[in-house]
Structure 1
Amino acid sequence: MASTASSHRSPIPPSPSSQSSPLHRLSTFKDISSAAAAATAASTTSTAATPLESFSSDPVFSAFLSPGFSAAQFSSQALSSGSAAARAENLHDGIRLLEKQLRSEVLSRHHDLLGQLSSLKDADAALSVVRSGIATLQSSLRRCRQEIADPRRHIRLKTLQLSNLHHTLELVQSTSRVLRQSKKLRDLMEISGTDPEKVDLAKAAQLYSEILSLCEDNSLAGVALVDEELGWVGGSGNWLRSEAMRVLERGMEGLNQAEVGSGLQVFYNLGELRSTVDGLIGRYKNQGVRSIGAALDMKAISSSSSSSSASVAASTGAGPGGIQRSGTPQIGGGVRAREGLWVRMNHCADQVHSIVVSVWHLQRVLSKKRDPFTHVLLLDEVIQEGDPMLTDRVWEALVKSFANQMKSAFNTSSFVKETFTVGYPKLYSIIENLLERITRDTDVKGVLPAITSEGKDQMVATINLFQNNFLAQCLKLLTDQVNNVFPVASKGSVPSKDQISRITLRIQEEIEAVKLDGRLTLLVLQVINKVLLLLAERAEYQISTGPDGRQVTGPATPSQLRNFTICQHLQEIHARLSSTLLELPAVASNVLSPSMGAMYGIACDSVTSLFQAMLDRLESCILQMHEQNFGLPGMDASMDNNSASPYMEELQKCILHFRKEFLSKLLPSSSTNTTRGGTETICTRLVRRMASRILIFFIRHAALVRPLSESGKLRMARDMAELELAIGQNLFPVEQLGAPYRALRDFRPFIFLDISQLGSSPNLQNLPPSAVLHHIYSRGPEELQSPMQRNKLTPLQYSLWIDSQGEDQIWKGIKATLDDYAAKVRARGDKEFDPVYPLMLRLGSSLTENAQVPQNL
């Protein structure tokens, strides 16, 4: 083979190392072959560059160099060009050119190709040597396999035998442990034959669980002795579950933490804690849903409450239990059905309370108890992260069921709808008491409550349909009463006292029915607020605002009498509701504040114009004192000492007329200051303000009287006494007027004091500073003009200016007149001022610092 290969070698002589071995020659062949191939490729590329370039520039052959060349498309174009024969000739020329180029390439690389052929022969010889070596190696491997096969087979058999022995030993040991644990369980269960209460259920459950675990982990199924024992163990497990459930349920019913913990521990040892708790929760859910459904089972309510009217039901074609399709009991059974419905609702609330508290108690024990060996919290075994609490699951189901039942009853049963609408406060009270009981019974420090505030709101929201209907009916009922009392199209019709009393009583009954619950009270008060606003609006429409309502010279006109009646009605409603609100929280008053304020304002408006007109007339009477001459000496000799001034007599007549014709109808009681429940009425307030204003107005103008002789002072004092008597007897007790009365009382002795006594008189503290200073003008010289004289104002104009100013501004006007007087004295060259000048300066500065503005109407 070597000689044959050497005869075909290439002309290039091989190196000596290339002849050392066939494998080495093979690698040498690969190197030479690679180099030759690379050289040939380079030469070919260089030689073929020219034809390829010519092809790429040729418009026909360049299409064959495109990667997306399509023979069909090229042929189609050639045929459609009309020169197919010329195109075919061009293609033949191109083919001949390519063949010529190929032939040229082969001839130019003839020696290289012969060298490559020699290298292939050398490679074939090398491969023959390798095949021979591989055959020898395979023969050696067969001999080795023959020599080690028997020991390996022997070892495998021994290993299998050892494994079987080991497995058999494990089975025997496991079976022995199962039998021992089973014997312990038997010994423990034998106690149950005499007294089941003495059995340690938790330990028995632990043994039971270990037996099943041993059988499952060691695959003991099929062992006859074990299978026989497992039959008894399975029965024991059922007994354990039954006893543990009995203990658990008893503990939940009695809220006994020890019993609940014992039952839970048994199921934890059995490995069935989560499934058992889930089953319990499902049972309690179903029990609550059934209880809620039974509470609103109108067929059962009717059958239990109207058995006496079964014959009537049969004759009228009613359904079972005397219930009609609309859900309304037959005649005669409605009252009993209504009572039965409330009884069932209370019973349902009791059951829901029991269920929620029991589930909460179970959750409480789970959150506290840990396994004594693993110290695992049992709650973590039942509830995974992100799962709702047990009480939340049950409460959600109960709320959903209750909401569905309430909605269904509202839409399908007119009887339930009417009963729960009319008795919504009672229905709400049942729900509120339920939530309060659950909260109270599950309020334990360190333990989550059974229901959250959000959960409470969800339960309350289930009866919102009846709440809205209740409020709507309440609004309609009260609005109808207002419309009956104050018809929209009838002006001039005044309701009677009984009608107003019925409206007020109805409003008080609505408040009384819900006052035990703050939330419902506020809702009802919002309805009442709308009704009172409507009532105030209707009453305002009935008020007469024309001249007839303001006249005070004649008897009361029909328009005034109607205004008086409306005022008294609104005042009555306001007073009675105000006394009712005293029993409620302050927020209740805030809800009714808009309507109560509106009623009070309209009641005031109905008579305020009358009082203002009367006050204007009384003031005009007082202004007539400036037409009297109080400065003539000895004027008392020409007049009766026991008679009052003409202006005072007219004032008394006006007051008496006002009392007789108006106040007697506005204040029908004997006392002019009658109040209700300690609260001043509108009319007494207006009378009091009128009386106070008359006293202040009289003092103001009495102080402006100038000149004022000694006899004039006596006459003024007598007028004051007459004024006090007229007001006290006909308007308001003067001793209850406060500051105005004290001012009148102190002004009377003040006018009789000497100038030297004025500055230290105790009467100054109760008199307005302006009245004191104005009176002192009457003690001074004529050139000391008062602000009224200085500005040439009438008494009325000056009085109006005083009403619009404070004591400090009045003092500024007085101070200006004092400055004018001082300038005149200095201009004359006099060295002394009249004694009233320094007195007025001193009193004006001191009195105005702490002056109090008198109360005006």
Structure 2
Amino acid sequence: MASPAIQRSPTQSSTITTTSSAASPLQRLSTFKDRERDLSSTPTPSHYLSSSSVNPLSSFSSDPIFSLFLSPDFDSLRFSSHALSTGSAASTAEKLQDGIRLLEKQLRSEVLSRHDDLFSQLSSLRDAESALSVVRSAVSTLQSSVRRIRSEIADPNRQIRSKTTQLYNLHKTTELLQFTIRVLRLSKKLRDLMVISDSDPEKLDLLKAAQLHCEILGLASDNGLSGIDVVDEELRWVSETGAKLRSEGMKILERGLEGLNQAEVGSGLQVFYNLGELRTTVDGLIVKYKSVVVKSVSAALDMKAISASSAGGGGGFGPGGVQRSGTPQIGSGVKAKEALWQRMSACMDQLHSIVVAAWHLQRVLSKKRDPFTHVLLLDEVIQDADPMLTDRVWEAFVKSFASQMKSAYTASSFVKEIFTMGYPKLYSMIQNLLERISRDTDVKGVMPAVSSDGKEQMLSAVENFQSAFLALCLSRLSDIVNTVFPMSSRGSVPSKEHFSKIILRIQEEIEAVLFDSHLTFLVSRVIGKVLQLVAERAEYQISTGPEARQITGPATPSQLKNFTLCQHLQEIHTRISSLSTGLPPEALEVLSPSLGAIHGVAHDSVASLFHTMLDHLQSCILQIHEQNFGVISMDAAMDNNASPYMEELQKSILHFRTEFLSRLLPSFANAATTGTGAICTELSRHMASKVLMFFIRHASLVRPLSESGKLRMARDMAELELAVGQNLFPVGQLGAPYRALRAFRPIIFLETSQLEASPLLQDLPASVILHHLYSRGPDELQSPMQRNKLTPLQYSLWLDSQGEDQIWKGIKATLNDYATIMRARGNEELGPVFSIMLRLGSSLSENPS
């Protein structure tokens, strides 16, 4: 149990102090001082004095007993039980008494130190109590006034609320009556219009009737007029009238779309706009068009129905009917094929009419505005994210068409075969459809019915058949090539008829697709592969070896075989080239490498013969250096016979013409103008040009050259011109080589002083003039051939590998040597030939071309 000292607390002391607030401050001060004296006279434990003077709570927090009292969950019963159970109740009580005294002392000290502040707080409380008593009095007065006012306004408030409700109901009833009267009046107007239409349907004003119908329903719906008997009765009649108006409006709209009449379509759309059903009606039309399109595609590729109709209505399963997923029986395939194409044509026609109708509807919507609100009708139908009407119809068609085509390709072998073999016809149908739609919807300022992406989607739907058609085309052409050129045979050359089959088949493939540039391009790629195959097989047939290159005897079998092969390949090249003149540029670009391969093989089959012959003729011309053109003799000048080397050259050319060219160029007289045997003609032209220029080169190297030698050389040039012109190629058509030959003949007879000013120099290479001038110079002026101790053949080969500027460098070196020799002899005069050569060479270095 707690002692009486424990029952005292600082709260009690403060309560005593507070309750004696009526006493004077001096009395309170004396009381505090007396209590302080009493406490100061009470002994205090020494171990608290030092710490409590600063802060007794800090010493309490470290004390094992007093620290328990600082805990928020302190339990006095538990503390007392513990003190009693430990047997230290007396000492604990004494310790607690000491603590209480210490706390009271500290509290008194705090009160005394803050006496002025506490006293001022007490004065403020007294003023607050006084003000509060005044406020209580005012509040009481206010409450009584409020109770009086409440009693005075309660009855008027109830009356106002009642009158307000009554007024609202009156207004509501008045509005209902007004709207009802409005509905009845509008209904009467609508009845009058309908009565007129009953007597004369053409006098029905659909636009006004539709507007009245929409206004009546809108008034009834927006103002809640349902439930009024007279209104409900009118609404039933208005609904029946609306059905009639929709029917009449749809007739006008469909008639306008069928005839593409903008006025009728605009009137029909205005009817439904006035009815408030424009978007619903247009969406319904588009859904109908999409449904018709899908059904049309399905019906066009319904092989069971096609076979049944082609079999005479046998139900599809009798003789000539359907077997295995729509494949016709034997005997009805032709009719089924015709029926399939007819249905596809009808499907394309129907699609065209539907797409154009949808585009026409879209066009009128984009132009038509309501005359009162000026709202564009298209904005009422299509929102920002909505696709256009034609796009919806076209998307539905392409999706259905692609699905049906894919199904037909995989499920029906009959349809696959028909559309693969007749792909150009199918492609033509699609292209015609796209062109018709583009043509019929090409109006300035209006979007076309089908975009370029839509067209690509349509063509992509038949890509399977396109790939199969191109593969079939390649297979057909490859089979003919394999028949003409069997891999196991190399000895015999195919006949002209065999090559004609290849050309005819290629011509048929090209003509079948000429109507479209893209399809022509695809088929041209296939033909290019086939021509490459022909070139490879023909190259395998070419005979090589000594027998194919001999020129001394008659034509060998190997040469005759090469001649025939060359002519056949030339025929293919000529015929296909003439066919390709009317093809698109991209098709020509595809065929050009393959035609080049054919031309290359034809060229290679006879090129070795021409090269051998050219080498032989050049070796004959090289014998000119074995002749003595420096002799001065009247007999030599009067001799009209050609030189021995020229006679040999003439005999070789004549033999080549008789044994070889006559077989390669049957009509030599017009070969150069008609293009017959163009490859051999070109080879002959090349050889003739080479022979003339080779002769001019080595004729310019002849040294010495006397006047009689010049006459002899002129005769040789005349004989050469005659031999080449009659047996190889018309020299007048050779161009620069012939002009050079005709110019060199008078050049050799000109005086050295006249040579530099002669206009004939323009037709001759500068190196020829410079080499010829050596024959007019002194012996000390050596030519590059003499200076380097080269044979005529070696020097000629060197000239072939050099340009005119490099040749001049070699000539200039000989001129420098000559100048050195002459100056060493003390002769500063180098002669006119030296000066002319130096000037000609200098101009050549300034203008290497």
Whether these two folds match at TM > 0.5 is yes
Equivalent residue number for residue 13 of structure 1: 19
The offset of 1:434, in angstroms, is: 1.0
Equivalents in 1 of 2:704, 2:738: separation in Å? 25
Equivalent residue number for residue 478 of structure 1: 477
Equivalent residue number for residue 164 of structure 2: 159
Give a deviation string over 1:51-82, Cα, whole Å, max 9, x none: 76566999xx9xx9999xxxxxxxxxxxxxxx
Please say if residues 366 and 378 of structure 1, whose CA atoms lie closer than 8 Å, have aligned partners that are also in contact: yes
Equivalents in 2 of 1:91, 1:444: separation in Å? 114
Structure 2, unpaired ranges of 5+ = 1-13, 24-51, 74-81, 108-131
Where in structure 2 are the equivalents of 1:564-583 lying within 5 Å? 564-583=563-582
Equivalents in 2 of 1:802, 1:507: separation in Å? 47
The offset of 1:572, in angstroms, is: 1.9
Please say if residues 665 and 676 of structure 2, whose CA atoms lie closer than 8 Å, have aligned partners that are also in contact: no
Q: Secondary structure at the match of 1:12?
A: helix
One-letter amino acid matched to 1:200: D
1:688 lines up with 2:661 in the alignment? no
| Residues 15 and 255 (structure 1), Cα distance of their counterparts in 2 relative to 1, 3 Å cut | farther
Equivalent residue number for residue 822 of structure 1: 819
Equivalent residue number for residue 117 of structure 2: none
The offset of 1:99, in angstroms, is: 9.9
Please say if residues 696 and 740 of structure 1, whose CA atoms lie closer than 8 Å, have aligned partners that are also in contact: yes
Equivalent residue number for residue 20 of structure 1: none
Equivalent residue number for residue 128 of structure 2: none
Equivalents in 1 of 2:72, 2:546: separation in Å? 114
One-letter amino acid matched to 1:234: S
1:811 lines up with 2:817 in the alignment? no
Equivalent residue number for residue 625 of structure 1: 624
| Residues 98 and 644 (structure 1), Cα distance of their counterparts in 2 relative to 1, 3 Å cut | farther
Please say if residues 410 and 417 of structure 1, whose CA atoms lie closer than 8 Å, have aligned partners that are also in contact: yes
| Residues 729 and 241 (structure 1), Cα distance of their counterparts in 2 relative to 1, 3 Å cut | same
Give a deviation string over 1:339-361, Cα, whole Å, max 9, x none: 22112111111111111111111
Give a deviation string over 1:192-251, Cα, whole Å, max 9, x none: 123333322222111111111111222222222222222221111111111111111111
| Residues 809 and 105 (structure 1), Cα distance of their counterparts in 2 relative to 1, 3 Å cut | same
Equivalents in 1 of 2:91, 2:573: separation in Å? 125
Equivalents in 2 of 1:529, 1:194: separation in Å? 76
1:287 lines up with 2:284 in the alignment? no
How many residue pairs are counted as aligned between the two chains? 782
Give a deviation string over 1:645-678, Cα, whole Å, max 9, x none: 21112112221222223222322334373566x5
Equivalents in 1 of 2:752, 2:305: separation in Å? 99
Structure 1, unpaired ranges of 5+ = 1-7, 18-42, 68-87, 113-126, 853-857
Equivalent residue number for residue 512 of structure 1: 511
Equivalents in 2 of 1:65, 1:658: separation in Å? 136
Equivalent residue number for residue 588 of structure 2: 589
Give a deviation string over 1:7-47, Cα, whole Å, max 9, x none: x9744236579xxxxxxxxxxxxxxxxxxxxxxxxx9xx87
Q: Secondary structure at the match of 1:219?
A: coil
Equivalent residue number for residue 241 of structure 2: 236
Equivalents in 2 of 1:703, 1:644: separation in Å? 18
Greater shift in the superposed pair: 708-717 or 299-308: 299-308
Q: Secondary structure at the match of 1:633?
A: coil
| Residues 105 and 372 (structure 1), Cα distance of their counterparts in 2 relative to 1, 3 Å cut | farther
Equivalent residue number for residue 47 of structure 2: none
Where in structure 2 are the equivalents of 1:63-212 lying within 5 Å? 148-212=153-217
Equivalent residue number for residue 667 of structure 1: 665
Equivalents in 2 of 1:390, 1:670: separation in Å? 70
Equivalent residue number for residue 652 of structure 1: 650
Where in structure 2 are the equivalents of 1:776-787 lying within 5 Å? 776-787=773-784
Percent identity for Structure 1 against Structure 2: 67
Equivalent residue number for residue 716 of structure 1: 713
The offset of 1:398, in angstroms, is: 0.8
Equivalents in 2 of 1:404, 1:95: separation in Å? 104
Greater shift in the superposed pair: 150-159 or 285-294: 150-159
Equivalents in 2 of 1:270, 1:312: separation in Å? 49
Where in structure 2 are the equivalents of 1:495-534 lying within 5 Å? 495-534=494-533
Match of 1:797 among 786, 794, 806: 794
The offset of 1:179, in angstroms, is: 1.2
Equivalent residue number for residue 28 of structure 1: none
The offset of 1:848, in angstroms, is: 7.2
Equivalents in 1 of 2:317, 2:475: separation in Å? 34
The offset of 1:641, in angstroms, is: 3.2
Equivalent residue number for residue 726 of structure 1: 723
Please say if residues 672 and 684 of structure 1, whose CA atoms lie closer than 8 Å, have aligned partners that are also in contact: no
Please say if residues 672 and 732 of structure 1, whose CA atoms lie closer than 8 Å, have aligned partners that are also in contact: no
Equivalent residue number for residue 430 of structure 1: 429
Please say if residues 536 and 602 of structure 1, whose CA atoms lie closer than 8 Å, have aligned partners that are also in contact: yes
Give a deviation string over 1:815-857, Cα, whole Å, max 9, x none: 33333333333333346444433343344445776686xxxxx
Equivalent residue number for residue 389 of structure 1: 388
Greater shift in the superposed pair: 647-656 or 658-667: 658-667
| Residues 342 and 95 (structure 1), Cα distance of their counterparts in 2 relative to 1, 3 Å cut | farther
Equivalents in 2 of 1:219, 1:814: separation in Å? 119
Equivalents in 1 of 2:98, 2:341: separation in Å? 118
| Residues 749 and 675 (structure 1), Cα distance of their counterparts in 2 relative to 1, 3 Å cut | closer
Equivalents in 2 of 1:94, 1:491: separation in Å? 135
Equivalents in 2 of 1:95, 1:501: separation in Å? 139
Give a deviation string over 1:266-317, Cα, whole Å, max 9, x none: 2112211111111111011101111111111112222333329x599625xx
One-letter amino acid matched to 1:13: T
Match of 1:224 among 220, 229, 240: 229
Equivalent residue number for residue 10 of structure 2: none
1:613 lines up with 2:643 in the alignment? no
Where in structure 2 are the equivalents of 1:316-335 lying within 5 Å? 322-335=321-334
| Residues 102 and 686 (structure 1), Cα distance of their counterparts in 2 relative to 1, 3 Å cut | farther
Greater shift in the superposed pair: 774-783 or 266-275: 774-783
The offset of 1:480, in angstroms, is: 2.3
| Residues 56 and 213 (structure 1), Cα distance of their counterparts in 2 relative to 1, 3 Å cut | farther
Equivalent residue number for residue 268 of structure 2: 263
Q: Secondary structure at the match of 2:595?
A: helix
Please say if residues 307 and 328 of structure 2, whose CA atoms lie closer than 8 Å, have aligned partners that are also in contact: yes
Please say if residues 550 and 610 of structure 1, whose CA atoms lie closer than 8 Å, have aligned partners that are also in contact: yes
Equivalents in 2 of 1:384, 1:834: separation in Å? 100
Q: Secondary structure at the match of 2:464?
A: helix
One-letter amino acid matched to 1:741: Y
One-letter amino acid matched to 1:647: Y
Please say if residues 403 and 463 of structure 1, whose CA atoms lie closer than 8 Å, have aligned partners that are also in contact: yes
Please say if residues 717 and 741 of structure 2, whose CA atoms lie closer than 8 Å, have aligned partners that are also in contact: yes
The offset of 1:177, in angstroms, is: 0.9
1:561 lines up with 2:566 in the alignment? no
Equivalents in 1 of 2:804, 2:634: separation in Å? 34
Equivalents in 2 of 1:91, 1:630: separation in Å? 162
Equivalent residue number for residue 767 of structure 2: 770
Equivalents in 1 of 2:472, 2:88: separation in Å? 108
Greater shift in the superposed pair: 624-633 or 159-168: 159-168
Equivalent residue number for residue 356 of structure 2: 357
Please say if residues 56 and 65 of structure 1, whose CA atoms lie closer than 8 Å, have aligned partners that are also in contact: no
| Residues 324 and 671 (structure 1), Cα distance of their counterparts in 2 relative to 1, 3 Å cut | farther
1:548 lines up with 2:547 in the alignment? yes
Please say if residues 359 and 391 of structure 1, whose CA atoms lie closer than 8 Å, have aligned partners that are also in contact: yes
One-letter amino acid matched to 1:220: L
Equivalents in 2 of 1:579, 1:332: separation in Å? 42
Please say if residues 525 and 590 of structure 2, whose CA atoms lie closer than 8 Å, have aligned partners that are also in contact: yes
Please say if residues 306 and 332 of structure 1, whose CA atoms lie closer than 8 Å, have aligned partners that are also in contact: no
Please give the TM-score of this superposition, normalised by the length of structure 2.
0.83
Q: Secondary structure at the match of 1:630?
A: coil
Equivalents in 1 of 2:66, 2:607: separation in Å? 118
Equivalent residue number for residue 75 of structure 1: none
| Residues 652 and 156 (structure 1), Cα distance of their counterparts in 2 relative to 1, 3 Å cut | same
